[in-house]
Amino acid sequence: MATRYLKHPNPPTTEATEELRTRVSEILRDIESGGLDAVRRYSRELDNWSPDDFVVSDAEFERASAGLDDGIKQHIAFAQNQIRTFATAQRGTVRELEVEVGEGVLLGHRLIPVNAVGAYVPGGRYPMLASSFMTVLVAKVAGVKQVVATAPPQRERGIHPTMLYAMRTSGADAVLCLGGVQALAAMAFGLIDGLAPVDMLVGAGNAFVAEAKRQLFGRVGIDLLAGPTEVLVIADACADPRLVATDLLGQAEHGPNSPAGCIAIGEDVARAVAAAVEDLLETFPTADVAGQAWRNHGWIAIAEDDEEAVAIADAAADEHLEVQVSEDKLDWYLQRLTNYGSLFLGDQATVAYGDKAVGTNHVLPTSRAARYTGGLWVGKFLKTCTYQRLTPQGTRLVAPAVAAISHEEHFEGHAMTAEVRLASLA
């Protein structure tokens, strides 16, 4: 049965234009050949920023820290502790392994942290404090030796002071005041004196940053390719329409291309939410941005029952999924929903909690990527590397099958490596 809509979806275009792809490719090639001089040229042209050193000094950090209110420092510390506690608990669920799978055949895996990570902390429209909690701090919990954090200058005055404080106190080994494609290239190519090339790039950014990560993938690892942030709310008759509307617009304020959707169980609920959104936009503090996002990309689906709501939500595979239904149904939804970046159960769990301070990570899949991946977590910074150890009895057990399979595949050299070992034991 086709889904009914009170307001039809209109997903934003997430594919990079040919012009953007070409421009990013040109910048990367130019920087790879031109080195730090090219980085400095692009920073000056694009951000009007060309300091003597892109690495933020201890003195600059101390000045930024001294100017901050103790209250915001305490709130940052609270959020960092929440994220650290959850990431540490997650790390405890993944363990190294060693098992004997046959006489003389010992197999195992080690969990080895990535050596060097570059974390991009976006700071264009808003000073994004929490982004460093999710990238820098979680990487350090995983055991990454070198984490370099970078953020663009704001209004030609360097990194926003509170952002800088959040980056350093999250555990960054070095902080760069550098934005855009040039920042990712500098970290990936190892162009900053004293800093090794990074092995992995993480963190969200604008379309240029996302395209640079895509083009650098393979040369370095990445967390995921993120598009505009998304929110989806499942609401039944128990939900407060104004609370649903607040959460929809609260996430839509990220940008005019941020989709916000609601799956309403029943037409009455759908209409109540739609009316609440329009009413709230009259006084919403960021209505200029959130209203444009809602008008262009907001949507409301009408589900006949809970089963259809789950089906619509799984098909949408949104980044953030809130479930505002009667309390007795929350566990039912938890067990049945399969496609989402992060799940918020009950009317007291809102996306903003996950974005800022509750403890889970906010770097999440968008554009339906939740169908095949989860978001950034401590395990993303760990390589699961296998090993084998065999005794002569292990060769007697394994070599005959290896030789036979290799001969059948016409890999005679492979077969020989097994057969010579077997023959040496005769």
Three-state DSSP string of 330-396: HHHHHHHCCCCCEEEECCCCCHHHHHHCCCCCCCCCCCCHHHCCCCCCHHHHEEEEEEEEECHHHHH
Q: Which two tokens stand for residue 85?
A: 């506690």
Domain containing residue 257: 228-374
Residue 9 lies in a domain: no
Is 230 an annotated catalytic residue?
no
358-361: list long-range contacts, CB under 8 Å, 24+ apart: 358/82, 359/82, 359/83, 359/85, 359/86, 360/83, 360/86, 361/83, 361/87, 361/134, 361/138
Angstrom CA distances, 302 to 236, 259, 268, 307, stand at 10, 17, 9, 12
- Angle subtended at Cα 93 by Cα 87 and Cα 96, rounded to the nearest 5 degrees: 115
Residue 395 lies in a domain: yes
Residue 6 lies in a domain: no
Q: Which of 169, 190, 222 marks a domain boundary? A: 222
What is the pTM (predicted TM-score) of this model? 0.94
Residues 322 and 198 in one domain: no
pLDDT digits (tens), the chain, 426 positions: 799 999 999 999 878 899 999 999 999 999 999 999 999 999 999 999 999 999 999 999 999 999 999 999 999 999 999 999 999 999 999 999 999 999 999 999 999 999 999 999 998 667 899 999 999 999 999 999 999 999 999 877 899 999 999 999 999 999 999 999 999 999 999 999 999 999 999 999 999 999 999 999 999 999 999 889 999 999 999 999 999 999 999 999 999 999 999 999 999 999 999 999 999 999 999 999 999 999 999 999 999 999 999 999 999 999 999 999 999 999 999 999 999 999 999 999 999 999 999 999 999 999 999 999 999 999 999 999 999 999 999 999 999 999 999 999 999 999 999 999 999 998
Residues 296 and 162 in one domain: no
DSSP codes of every residue in 249-278: HHHHTT-TT--EEEEEESHHHHHHHHHHHH
Q: Quick check: helix, strand or coil at residue 123?
A: coil
Which residue in 319, 327, 362, 419 is the catalytic one?
319
Residues 64 and 162 in one domain: yes
Asked if 357 and 383 touch (Cβ cutoff 8 Å), the reply is no
Residue 408 lies in a domain: yes
Residues 6+ apart with CB under 8 A from 162: 64, 68, 72, 76, 127, 129
Residue 168 lies in a domain: yes
Which residue in 320, 327, 407, 412 is the catalytic one?
320
Residues 156 and 297 in one domain: no
Residues 199 and 328 in one domain: no
Residues 289 and 147 in one domain: no
Residues 26 and 159 in one domain: yes
What is the CATH number for 92? 3.40.50.1980
Domain count, the chain: 3
Is 319 an annotated catalytic residue?
yes
Residue 11 lies in a domain: no
Residues 6+ apart with CB under 8 A from 185: 27, 28, 31, 32, 39, 191, 212, 216
Q: Which of 222, 242, 260 marks a domain boundary? A: 222
Helix axes 70-93, 161-169, angle to 10 degrees: 40
Residue 324 lies in a domain: yes
Q: Which residues, listed in sequence order, are joined to residue 111 by a DSSP beta bridge?
A: 384
DSSP state of 12: P
Q: Which of 222, 242, 263 marks a domain boundary? A: 222
Helix axes 241-252, 267-281, angle to 10 degrees: 60
Residues 275 and 199 in one domain: no
Residues 285 and 165 in one domain: no
Residues 370 and 330 in one domain: yes
Residues 252 and 300 in one domain: yes
Residues 364 and 398 in one domain: no
